[in-house]
């Protein structure tokens, strides 16, 4: 390393060669290598059974890896009991003690750590101010709304200043509006306190909103780990493209290559040019990915130079307030979606023949689904 150059900060958490099986035959987590930086907000995203929650439980100490090691601040912790890991936890079901007041619930981690009474009172007051619930300190969890209970669970996880906070689907029980509000509050707390958060969810919108980086899990394997915008704009395979954000899929066969692009003959008829991302070569089957907001509907079939153009038939339109969706039949895909400005759907009628256009760089040629 050259003089004057700074060494990169070591990872706060490191998963090294982690495997996990419950029955000795089927791996729930397969050869996981993952570094988490200090102060990072990282989300483990994936469908049910993908391995994300098992990964979080191994980090918390509630599950033990079958193979490999987990390091926290360079210390191996695979065999360390949960209460010695200095980790805060927030669960979907809040896990508050119903017989204790809000103040007593928040103080509980400090009592376990034998914190002095004066220090405990000061820290609890600060934690309740942080979640704007000082006036509710003497209430019990049953007297609070779901959002208030989740704030208390968050304060309890932060009150002892842990080096790491784990959150397992913490907003899953809340309604949409409250969930979106809590997403912003958690993100603001993360930014103001500089804490490290590992967050588990199956909600891709939630992951995109909150995360510094997202690790997309499927079948026990991290398919891709990247910034939210990079995952959305540059998925490395069809699973990531389909799981992160809304996506249209067209199947076809690669005809030819030109630099970073390829020509694809669609299974439902027609030819398009696409950005070659993850395909094996000419003659290979491919799955094309096109985001709904990157497509234009042109009733007269006109398009700008170089854009792909395909015939389509209107199936239905859906008004969603801040935007509308047109559902089309395109090259055999009868659920092809195009995102429109509000009101733009009024001119479309069921069964109408139209054309769609999209740029080659907005169409990704990936491995088949």
pLDDT digits (tens, 9 = 90+) for 249-261: 999 999 998 889 9
Q: Residue 346's pLDDT band (boundaries 50, 70, 90)?
A: confident
pLDDT at 224: 97
Give the pTM. Answer: 0.90
Q: What residues does each domain of the chain span?
A: 11-238, 248-366
42-51, 100-109, 197-206, 295-304: segment of lowest average pLDDT = 295-304
Whether 38 has a pLDDT exceeding 80, the answer reads yes
**pLDDT tier at 98, thresholds 50, 70, 90:** very high
Q: What is the third-level CATH fold of 11-238?
A: Rossmann fold (3.40.50)
Look at 147 and 33; give whichever has higher pLDDT: 33
Mean pLDDT of 269-277: 94
Q: What is the pLDDT of residue 8?
A: 60
The whole-number pLDDT of residue 6 equals 54
Domain 248-366 has CATH 2.40.50.140: yes
CA distance 216 to 136: 38
Q: Is the pLDDT of residue 7 over 70?
A: no
Question: Would you place residue 119 in the very low, low, confident or very high pLDDT band (cuts 50, 70, 90)?
Answer: very high
Q: What percent of the chain has pLDDT above 90? A: 71
């Amino acid at each position: 390393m050259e003089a004057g150059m700074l060494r990169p900060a070591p990872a706060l958490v490191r998963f090294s060669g982690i495997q996990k099986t419950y029955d000795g035959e089927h791996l729930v987590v397969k050869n996981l290598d993952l570094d988490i930086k200090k102060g990072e907000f990282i989300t483990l995203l994936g469908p049910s059974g993908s391995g994300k929650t098992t990964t979080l439980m191994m980090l918390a100490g509630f599950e033990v890896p079958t193979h490999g090691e987990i390091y926290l601040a360079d210390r191996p912790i695979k065999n360390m009991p949960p209460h010695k890991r200095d980790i805060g936890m927030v669960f979907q079901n809040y896990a508050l003690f119903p017989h204790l007041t809000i103040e007593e619930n928040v103080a509980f981690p400090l009592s376990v750590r034998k914190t002095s009474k004066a220090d405990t009172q000061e820290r609890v007051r600060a934690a309740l101010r942080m979640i704007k619930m000082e006036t509710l300190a003497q209430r019990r969890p049953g007297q609070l709304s779901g959002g208030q209970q989740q704030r208390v669970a968050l304060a309890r996880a932060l009150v002892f200043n842990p080096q790491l906070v784990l959150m397992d689907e913490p907003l899953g029980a809340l309604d949409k509006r409250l969930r979106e509000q809590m997403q912003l509050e958690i993100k603001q707390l993360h930014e103001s306190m500089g804490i490290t958060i590992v967050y588990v969810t199956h909600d891709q919108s939630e992951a995109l909103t909150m995360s510094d980086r997202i690790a997309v899990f499927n079948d026990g394997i991290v398919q891709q780990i990247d910034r939210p915008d990079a995952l959305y704009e540059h998925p490395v395979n069809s699973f990531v493209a389909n799981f992160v954000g809304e996506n249209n899929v067209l199947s076809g066969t690669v005809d030819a290559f030109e630099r970073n692009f390829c020509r694809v003959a669609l299974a439902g008829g027609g030819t398009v040019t696409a950005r070659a991302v993850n395909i094996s070569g000419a003659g290979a089957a491919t799955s094309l990915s096109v985001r709904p907001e990157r497509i234009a509907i042109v009733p007269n079939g006109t398009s700008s130079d170089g854009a792909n153009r395909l015939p389509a038939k209107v199936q239905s339109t859906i008004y969603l307030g801040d935007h509308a969706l047109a559902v089309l039949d395109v090259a055999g895909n009868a659920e092809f979606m195009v995102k429109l400005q509000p009101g733009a759907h009024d001119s479309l009628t069921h069964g109408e023949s139209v054309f769609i256009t999209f740029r080659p760089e907005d169409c990704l040629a990936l491995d088949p689904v």
